[in-house]
Structure 1
Amino acid sequence: MNKTVTINLGGIVFHIDEDAYQKLSRYFDAIKRSLNNSSGQDEIIKDIEMRVSELLGEKLLSDKHVIGLKEIDEMIAVMGQPEDYIIEDEPQSETRYTAYKKSKKLYRDKDKGMIGGVAAGLGHYFGIDVVWIRVIMLLLLFGAGTGVLAYIILWIATPEAKTTSEKLEMTGEPVTISSIEKKVREEFDSVSEKFKNVDYDKFGNQIKTGADKLAGSLSEIITNMFKVFAKFLGVILIITGLTVLFFLFVGIFTLGTGIFIEFPWTEFINAGNFTDYPIWVFGLLMFLAVGIPFFFLTLLGFRLLSPNIKSIGSIAKYTLLALWILAIAALISIGIQQASEVAYEGKTVQKENLNIQSTDTLQIKFKYNEYYTKDIDDNDNFRFVQDASNNQLIYSNNIRFEILKTDEKAPFIQIERMARGASFQEAKKRAEKIQYGFKLERNQLLLDNYLLSSIKDKFRDQEVAIYLYLPEGTLFKVDESVQHYDESDDEFFNLHFSSNDYIYKVNTTQVKCLNCPENENEYGDVETGITEDITGNDTIVTTTVKVNGEVVTVNQSSKKGLTINKEGVIIKK
């Protein structure tokens, strides 16, 4: 059993076992000895430590992961042994360079840049002279101004190459001990050379320094502005993400899942569930499908507020991504099943003759059930109720009414019950179970304004269509309750809502109102005559209406003190 040592390497804390720690220490001691006479030794050591820290950090599986000899050997295989490298003026052989060649990474090169180093970094990445990159930027600048936006986005998104390792990665050079030492020595020699020639380059450097200061100030201002914007955006993302996640979490337990507790609306949701999957499955899938993207948005918000915050790790990221893909696929599959459950419509037809005399005036009225509601205007297409035996039912006012003409001698009513299902047979069976009633009392046709279905049949667009077929010459009156359900063709029957006393007659091509006011009647010429008889305290007003040669008399009673104007409208004196 080996001891574990905690070290801080390149700003990152590592747990390393004793054998691995001793080997790493010997490795750094050998590097220091090989660089004993090198210029810029401290800078080289610092860059090497940063590179070693980066390589070992990639191997961490968790915060408690312990670095062993295996990880140290793999790191040394990449970095190389100090004695394997000899710094010479001539370039390395192609074989050695190829062995440690790494792909380029995109960084901003502020050393060779004019403003933020974006163009110089792109030049390194694509292997193009920076002049051509700047020319392209200028062309985009004058082409709808997209160059400025692209430059700003790249400036924000692309990190600056600060360390020697990052500068080597920017140019595609291998990040090894030899390359790091060589790069540092080149920079050190470059700085020394500038100091030697400072007298010769004095005036030129002053101009360049002034431009660099101006560019640096502008760069700093823009950078700070975007940093503030990034912080603000991070707060918005955190608030939005956490709010959505909270409501999704609450929704899992309150959307009728039935896992822990039954809520009052559980049955309501189950009735609308067209598949056999339990509701909690929908809640869980929706939580994953919607919650995972908002979870990552929340993490992005925290990263914008605090860039140094630690990532959740690749394993967690890929696991959440896999769960999200599975949730989306499952929801699509369930959606297809939901649609297939209502793909077909089935119906049953009930026809009954109405036993009324041809001289009678048919009265048509919709009635409601006081057990389920207290108002004829209380309409609902989907509601749970209980009958007198405490059986749960689905209550709906999904009723359609239409008046049609028939060539048969007697009037009749046709009731069509309709529902949907996964097949015609299933839909028809569900339609047969719809409870709907009507009755004829003398000359009054009373129609239920509701239908009932068993909760076991669930909600499948249950509907009742009522077709009243009347022969030519039939007289009828319509109660005001009919207006909520009437869907008759206006070209055949135009219902007037202003009175329950209007008398309608079925003619050859259309239904005509015999006693509607002239300003409401659209059919034929109307002649109106009015007489007034006074008996005691009451006034009996007799209105005679002549429509296309047919005379109809309507009596109206009112209190004394009312009169009739020339248009036949009763008004107060």
Structure 2
Amino acid sequence: MNKTVNINIGGLFFHIDEDAYQKLSRYFDAIKRSLSNSSGKDEIMKDIEMRVAELLTEQQKSDKHVINLKDVDQVVAVMGQPEDYRIDDDNQEPSSANFTSSGRKKLYRDKDKGLIGGVCTGLGHYFGIDSIWIKIGFILLVWAGGSGVLAYLILWAITPKAVTTSEKLEMTGEPVTISNIEKKVREEYESVSSKFKNANYDEMGNQVKNGAEKVANGFGNVIMKIFGAFAKVLGAFILIFSALSLVAVIITSIVMVFSSSMPDNKIVEFIHTPIGLETPLWIQGILFLFAAGIPIFFILILGLKLLVTNLKSIGNIAKYSLLGIWIISVGILISLGINEFNQLAYAGKTVQKETINISANDTIKVKFRYNDFFSKSIHDRDDIRIAQDSMGNPVIYSTNVGIHLKRTDNPSPYIQIETRAHGKSFAEANERAKKIKYGFKIVGNELILDNYFLTDTKNKLRNQRVDIYLYLPNGIVYYPDANVETYLDGSNADFDYYYGPEGYKYKVESDKLRCLDCPESENTNDVQTEEINITETNDTVKSVSVKVNGKEILNDTKGKKSKLTIDSNGIIIKTE
């Protein structure tokens, strides 16, 4: 039965039995003796201890694991014996007895050689290429749409910085052994020493003097505090913005995922996505959560790093797992987007024409009606949604209906109904348009139109629409119901989009609609022509005559004072 002790190696605590502890202590003592003549001995020992602690952590199977002789032997096998790695001068290579290493690289940020965060330099070490090519790639991504900035920030947030000598060796793929740790520290030590040797001490003295004066004045401290405060403010801004954005993404994703169980889909009816045709909304919700939420999460971590000193990392496994999920989600969204675009590549339509048997001088009444099974208001414009008919069968219900007023030279008015839809081909689009069910009827001189249409759910949502073209001959009286305004469409129309208030009668005169019974304040479409005649003699106005539509409204020839006003429609009227 062996006694166990608790030890601290590289800032980590371990349970180790007495025999293993004694062997590990002798191992460290031997290393110290081998480094007695080395520059930076303390730094080398610190890095060696941290590397040993890392290897022991990898061998721990549980929190109660006790380090034994076998574990210590495995560490020694990786690190090597001190006597096998003596570096007495720069020209002597260390022996490699009893040592093997995979030389596997790890991704770190090289802050020492990097310009900003060391991301590009670290990637260059990892892939074995010059970092300048990585930097050029990020610049091209920025020009291509700004994605390079987002990618750089994500990599900055998830990639750890190479701080210790062991991490710097792992970054370049060199084995983390006593020899390489000692060699790396000596190189850095000698680099610093050479800088001091080659320095211009007179110039340095002046710089130190000037620097001392600045420090005495407190300028340097103020600048550092300002930059520190700026970093904190920036971190707080990033944290608040990213947190709110992440909450919004999560809520939107939950609504989309559980959309099918919501009553009447009232909330979902207002959610329109670019890939909303073939892909179920719950799948879109999951993909949206990953594609938008993961980058925002990493930006949130970046904000926390600016605010919190020594923030603990979420771990490489979590970082690279989230990055992989994000790449897969974006790839799936791009693929679905291409497929959705193909579903709307071609437009098709069907045309139905019906003559209204009334004379050109008669009155045609127009009104819309609704189906109270699907809606309780004529003004309910849900556009398009999945519903059930009176028999309980699922159908596509839509109020995407519009009426266009056209002029015709035919003696009688007529109506043209066009049903429209999209598809992967003209044949598919035309077939889908044919399957739209739309109803209307003509009763005497009254045209009654449905404000909705139906189609089978097998036809899918493919921008289905119904356009009603009402052709009116010259001289006919057009009498729209008050509900027509909701569905009036000015595209492809021969008359103004808004010709006046509904519920009044309009006579077709050429390409105009003249209201016959509108109140004067609302009659905005009667065409008026103004004629102003001014007579002058020797630069003196003798008379002013104003005519509107041939009717004289002002003839000031007797010195009377009259007032002319131009209303909001540009029409001259006479006021006393």
Q: What is the TM-score when the length of structure 2 is the normalising length?
A: 0.62
Counterparts in 2 of 1:68 and 1:187: CA distance versus 1, 3 Å: farther
Aligned partner letter, 1:400: I
* Alpha-carbon distance in structure 2 between the residues aligned to 1:411 and 1:105: 77
Counterparts in 2 of 1:251 and 1:276: CA distance versus 1, 3 Å: same
Question: In 2, are the aligned partners of 1:348 and 1:431 still within 8 Å (CA)?
Answer: yes
1:354-365, aligned counterparts within 5 Å?
354-356=356-358, 358=359, 360-365=361-366
* Alpha-carbon distance in structure 2 between the residues aligned to 1:161 and 1:331: 35
Equivalent position SS for 1:430? helix
Q: Paired residue for 2:288?
A: 286
* Alpha-carbon distance in structure 1 between the residues aligned to 2:434 and 2:110: 70
Q: Paired residue for 2:500?
A: 497
Cα deviation 1:78-120 (Å, max 9, x = unaligned): 86644346675x54336779x99999996779xxxxxxxx9xx
Aligned partner letter, 1:28: F
Counterparts in 2 of 1:204 and 1:412: CA distance versus 1, 3 Å: closer
Over the aligned positions, Cα root-mean-square deviation in angstroms equals 5.8
Cα deviation 1:26-57 (Å, max 9, x = unaligned): 21121344567x699xx724641333314653
**1:299 alignment partner, one of 288, 298, 301:** 301
Structure of larger gyration radius: 1
**How far is the alpha carbon of 1:425 from its aligned partner?**
3.7
**How far is the alpha carbon of 1:374 from its aligned partner?**
6.0
Q: Paired residue for 1:115?
A: none
Equivalent position SS for 2:506? coil
* Alpha-carbon distance in structure 2 between the residues aligned to 1:223 and 1:522: 74
Cα deviation 1:243-281 (Å, max 9, x = unaligned): 44444444443324369x555428748998744443322
Equivalent position SS for 1:503? strand
The reply on whether 1:342 has 2:344 as its aligned counterpart is yes
Q: What is the TM-score when the length of structure 1 is the normalising length?
A: 0.62
**How far is the alpha carbon of 1:448 from its aligned partner?**
2.9
Aligned partner letter, 1:503: K
Question: In 2, are the aligned partners of 1:384 and 1:392 still within 8 Å (CA)?
Answer: yes
The reply on whether 1:311 has 2:313 as its aligned counterpart is yes
**How far is the alpha carbon of 1:328 from its aligned partner?**
0.4
Q: Paired residue for 1:477?
A: 478
* Alpha-carbon distance in structure 2 between the residues aligned to 1:93 and 1:445: 103
Counterparts in 2 of 1:457 and 1:303: CA distance versus 1, 3 Å: same
**How far is the alpha carbon of 1:3 from its aligned partner?**
9.0
Cα deviation 1:353-391 (Å, max 9, x = unaligned): 2222x3651313122327255665554423566665566
Q: Paired residue for 2:490?
A: 487
* Alpha-carbon distance in structure 1 between the residues aligned to 2:441 and 2:529: 34
Aligned partner letter, 1:44: K
1:125-274, aligned counterparts within 5 Å?
176=179, 179=183, 210-214=209-213, 220-257=221-258, 262=262, 264-265=264-265, 268=269, 274=276
Counterparts in 2 of 1:258 and 1:520: CA distance versus 1, 3 Å: closer
* Alpha-carbon distance in structure 2 between the residues aligned to 1:185 and 1:501: 97
Moved more, 341-350 or 486-495: 486-495
**How far is the alpha carbon of 1:348 from its aligned partner?**
1.9
**1:395 alignment partner, one of 394, 398, 402:** 398
* Alpha-carbon distance in structure 2 between the residues aligned to 1:220 and 1:390: 76
**How far is the alpha carbon of 1:332 from its aligned partner?**
0.8
Q: Paired residue for 2:449?
A: 447
Equivalent position SS for 1:83? helix
**How far is the alpha carbon of 1:399 from its aligned partner?**
1.4
Counterparts in 2 of 1:107 and 1:96: CA distance versus 1, 3 Å: farther
**How far is the alpha carbon of 1:475 from its aligned partner?**
1.7
Question: In 2, are the aligned partners of 1:56 and 1:75 still within 8 Å (CA)?
Answer: no
Equivalent position SS for 1:439? strand
Counterparts in 2 of 1:212 and 1:498: CA distance versus 1, 3 Å: closer
1:410-429, aligned counterparts within 5 Å?
410-429=412-431
Counterparts in 2 of 1:62 and 1:74: CA distance versus 1, 3 Å: closer
Aligned partner letter, 1:52: E
The reply on whether 1:463 has 2:468 as its aligned counterpart is no
**1:320 alignment partner, one of 319, 322, 326:** 322
Aligned partner letter, 1:502: Y
* Alpha-carbon distance in structure 1 between the residues aligned to 2:461 and 2:184: 73
The reply on whether 1:10 has 2:13 as its aligned counterpart is no
Counterparts in 2 of 1:306 and 1:491: CA distance versus 1, 3 Å: closer
**How far is the alpha carbon of 1:326 from its aligned partner?**
0.5
Q: Paired residue for 1:535?
A: none
Question: In 2, are the aligned partners of 1:368 and 1:449 still within 8 Å (CA)?
Answer: yes
Question: In 2, are the aligned partners of 1:86 and 1:178 still within 8 Å (CA)?
Answer: no
**How far is the alpha carbon of 1:72 from its aligned partner?**
6.0
**How far is the alpha carbon of 1:324 from its aligned partner?**
0.9
Question: In 2, are the aligned partners of 1:4 and 1:16 still within 8 Å (CA)?
Answer: yes
**Percent of aligned positions with the same letter in both sequences?**
36
**How far is the alpha carbon of 1:428 from its aligned partner?**
3.1
Aligned partner letter, 1:433: K
Q: Paired residue for 2:92?
A: 93
* Alpha-carbon distance in structure 2 between the residues aligned to 1:488 and 1:160: 61
